[in-house]
Amino acid sequence: MNLILFIFIVLLGFTSYYFGRKKAYTIQSTNKRLTALPQFYGYYLAIWCAIPAFIIFSLWAIFEPTIVKLLILSDYSNQGYLDDELNLIYEKTKALSRGQFTGEITPFIEASAEKYLSLRSIAQSSKAVIVLSIIIASVAYAYKKISSNSRTREPVEKFLKAVLFTASLAAILTTVGIVFSLIFQTIDFFKVIPLFDFVFGTHWYPAKAFVRDSSEALDPTMYSDTFGAVPIFAGTFFIAFIAMCVAIPIGLMSGIYLAEYASVKVRQYAKPLIEILAGIPTVVYGFFAALTVGPFLKEIGNSMGLDVSAESALAAGGVMGIMIIPFISSLSDDVITSVPQSLRDGSYAMGATKSETIKKVIFPAALPGIVGSILLGVSRAIGETMIVVMASGLAANLTLNPLESTSTITAQIVVILIGDQAFGDPKTQAAFALGMSLFLVTLCLNIVALRVVKKYREKYE
Amino acid sequence: MIKINSKNVDVFYGKKQALFNINLDIEENQVTALIGPSGCGKSTFLRCLNRMNDVIDICRVKGQIIINDFDINDKSCDVVRLREKIGMVFQKPNPFPKTIYENISYGPTIHGMAQSKNEMDEIVETSLKKAALWEEVKDRLHEPGTGLSGGQQQRLCIARAISVKPEVILMDEPCSALDPIATAQIEELIDELKKDHTIIIVTHSMAQAARVSQNTGFFHLGELIEHGSTDKIFKNPENKKTQDYITGRFG
């Protein structure tokens, strides 16, 4: 029903576009100059068709369920039901009307279900009638308003601006919403687990929290040694550090080669090839690390008499570094290429060699962009999940030995949230607290990055 | 005395020939102006003299360019030494994104010309003084060179070029991005610099060529149509094309 109505509105929109344009042509043919191109008249009419329909649709979607619920439950008022019970009755009614109710059917609920169905159908048909009549009224009004000197271009341009604004607002509001949901859950978590224990505790063992029966009352003392985040923070930064040790030198050098040394032809093929690395799904990197690199390192280590875990920080970090190479090389290639040729010419004309020019002129000029690309790589490394889950183990060891297994924030969030979760449980909330800390870390990184870029920016012009 | 002697120079960009059989002698310690309409090859010729065309992948240069009895197109030529001897100033001021001091010390550092900080300070000071910029920037040597005005930036580039004491300075339309006052300052400077350096300047302004140069070469469609003393070229040209160009009938 809704779909048919929607298709109908779209068709109406096209028709009104056609009629608006046609009217504009008619006006034009009587030798009057239009204030805008004819298609603006069409758009104008189509907007007058779509906007009222959209407003009614959304209002309806917001208010219809509430009103129907009120009407259904009005039958049960004054019978001494609690709010929770009323909600249950309403859910039963809905389930029965869909034929999905499996419990015991009482005559009361059966009557409500019938009433529910009839209310829904009344709502549907009245919605169709109201939407269509309002569309027709508004399009007719706008159609009459169109004349040789009416303004259509400005409203259409304003409408487009509003649409674009709404789109960006949606992105911002989503971010704000996510942050707030993180904040509230995190606050709940810290009501049970002291902040001090979380930030400075050295034992991370959330499996302990699994043992609790959720019907028991919370006993905070039980968690005193469970949610100490130091090992996983350390693990996160350690693995990110290993990754950057691989990614920064290789990425930067290949970026410089591509930008300054490679011939047009080599660059043409090499750049897309390197960028393919960025297109490999991280899960593929993950099993590459877990099944190829990890065992390989273990074998080498064993042959040298070292004790290497099959799931080592080195394997995860190394493979993660390879994953990050294309980000750094491609971005630094771009910033180096965008350094003006005049600076290179100036340096060559002084008798500088290529490497001197790169080291003393091009690299400083491109530094802000390069730092930016490195920090982007770091936040990728810290936020990367799949490789770590698969290749570096899930036990949160506090270690600085790259050959042992360790765990990261992201991997622990995965561990916590896999399977059944109970909301309001410290175990689940711990994931939010971790997510919040991850968010704060990347936020700080971004702020630092911006500061660095601003401070060391060397302007070309 | 002849400083630069070019024989049968041809330049190709890919398959397109940009210069045809150029034979031009440049007098020592004089200013030689290269004039001609846009795209006539005068800048290309200028860039042959310090092998800046090497930077362009598709560019090939044929013929001999002899400076100090040595063919710079020969394989044994060391481009780094060559460019130390032959400085260049570009059309758009292109100071490095560094401080004023570092802009000047760049060349001497690369060529290992200063043994101590004091020596370097001296080179920076004399270069800036020769470029008539010292008084304006002596209190802000450690501020970015890019913060200067357009005319000051161009004089900074000239100071940068003379910091390595080149024998020849190539100038590729050095005033085209500058206002008349800055242009007058640069022209005055060019006159001053010719005492110690041989200067070759590419310019679009015939008035400028007449003001600053002693010799002039006129290029058209990749060929050197006529060259000789500036007086003769401007007052009594032999070639009809030169006359038409000088009098503004085409170009």
For chain B, domain boundaries? 2-239
Instruction: State how beta strands B198-202 and B168-172 pair.
Output: parallel
**pLDDT greater than 60 at residue B8:** yes
User: Which residue from B minimizes the CA distance to A356?
Assistant: B110
Mutate to test the interface with A, among B44, B53, B100, B110 (most CBs of A within 10 A): B110
What pLDDT, on a 0 to 100 scale, did the predictor assign at position A96? 82
Mean pLDDT along residues B178-198: 91
**pLDDT greater than 50 at residue B193:** yes
- Residue in this structure with the two tokens 């500061």, named with its chain if needed: A451
**pLDDT greater than 80 at residue B44:** yes
Distance CA B127, CA B102 (A): 12
What residue type is B206 in one-letter code?
A: M
- Asked if B83 and A345 come within 8 Å (Cβ–Cβ), the reply is no
Distance CA B223, CA A207 (A): 85
What pLDDT, on a 0 to 100 scale, did the predictor assign at position A461? 43
What pLDDT, on a 0 to 100 scale, did the predictor assign at position A128? 86
ipTM of the complex: 0.91
- Other beta carbons within 10 angstroms of residue A397's beta carbon come to 17
Distance CA B56, CA B150 (A): 27
Detail the DSSP E strand segments found in chain B: 2-13, 16-27, 31-35, 59-67, 70-71, 86-89, 168-172, 198-202, 215-220, 223-229
What pLDDT, on a 0 to 100 scale, did the predictor assign at position A287? 87
Beta bridge partners of B60: B12
- Asked if A356 and B110 come within 8 Å (Cβ–Cβ), the reply is yes
- Asked if A458 and B144 come within 8 Å (Cβ–Cβ), the reply is yes
Mean pLDDT along residues B198-203: 94
Would you say the C-alpha torsion A409, A410, A413, A414 has a positive or negative sign? negative
Domains (ranges, CATH) in chain A? 2-151 (no CATH), 230-455 (1.10.3720.10)
Do residues A309 and A404 touch, judged by C-beta distance below 8 A?
Answer: yes
**pLDDT greater than 70 at residue B231:** yes
Residues from chain B that touch A458, judged by Cβ atoms under 8 A, are 97-98, 144, 146
Residues from chain B that touch A348, judged by Cβ atoms under 8 A, are 52, 55, 83
User: Which residue from A minimizes the CA distance to B162?
Assistant: A350
- Asked if A349 and B83 come within 8 Å (Cβ–Cβ), the reply is yes
Distance CA A47, CA A173 (A): 25
β-sheet with B59-67: strand ranges across: B16-27, B2-13, B59-67, B70-71
Condensed to tens digits (0 to 9), the pLDDT of residues B31-41 reads 999 999 888 88
DSSP string, A37-86: -HHHHHHHHHHHHHHHHHHHHHHHHHHHHHHHHHHHHGGGTTS---HHHH
User: Which residue from B minimizes the CA distance to A340?
Assistant: B94
- Asked if B98 and A344 come within 8 Å (Cβ–Cβ), the reply is no
Mutate to test the interface with B, among A350, A355, A457 (most CBs of B within 10 A): A350
Using the Cβ of B165 and the Cβ atoms of chain A, whether some distance falls under 8 Å is answered with no
**pLDDT greater than 90 at residue B120:** yes
What pLDDT, on a 0 to 100 scale, did the predictor assign at position A376? 83
What pLDDT, on a 0 to 100 scale, did the predictor assign at position A209? 62
Residues from chain A that touch B82, judged by Cβ atoms under 8 A, are 351
Using the Cβ of B151 and the Cβ atoms of chain A, whether some distance falls under 8 Å is answered with no
Tens of pLDDT, residue by residue, chain A (461 residues): 678 888 888 898 899 999 888 888 888 888 777 778 888 888 988 998 888 888 888 888 888 888 888 888 887 777 777 778 888 888 888 888 887 777 777 787 788 888 888 888 888 888 888 888 998 899 888 888 887 777 888 889 999 999 999 999 999 999 999 999 889 888 888 888 888 888 888 888 777 665 555 555 556 666 667 788 888 889 899 999 999 999 999 999 999 999 999 988 898 898 888 888 888 998 999 988 889 888 888 888 888 888 888 788 899 999 999 999 998 998 899 889 989 999 999 999 999 999 999 999 999 888 888 888 898 889 889 988 888 888 887 777 787 888 888 888 888 888 888 876 666 677 788 888 899 999 998 888 888 877 777 766 655 44
Fold of B2-239: Rossmann fold (3.40.50)
Residues from chain A that touch B142, judged by Cβ atoms under 8 A, are none
- Asked if B82 and A345 come within 8 Å (Cβ–Cβ), the reply is no
- Asked if B110 and A346 come within 8 Å (Cβ–Cβ), the reply is no
- Asked if A344 and B90 come within 8 Å (Cβ–Cβ), the reply is no
**pLDDT greater than 70 at residue B27:** yes
DSSP string, A402-418: TTS----HHHHHHHHHS
Distance CA A383, CA A162 (A): 34
Using the Cβ of B80 and the Cβ atoms of chain A, whether some distance falls under 8 Å is answered with yes
Distance CA B5, CA A457 (A): 44
**pLDDT greater than 90 at residue B201:** yes
Do residues A458 and A370 touch, judged by C-beta distance below 8 A?
Answer: no
Helix ranges restricted to H, A74-152: 83-97, 107-145
Beta bridge partners of B62: B10
Inter-chain Cβ pairs, chain A and chain B, closer than 8 A: 76
Mean pLDDT along residues B51-77: 89
What pLDDT, on a 0 to 100 scale, did the predictor assign at position A221? 65
Indicate the residue of B57, B84, B96 with minimum beta-carbon distance to A351.
Answer: B84
What pLDDT, on a 0 to 100 scale, did the predictor assign at position B160? 95
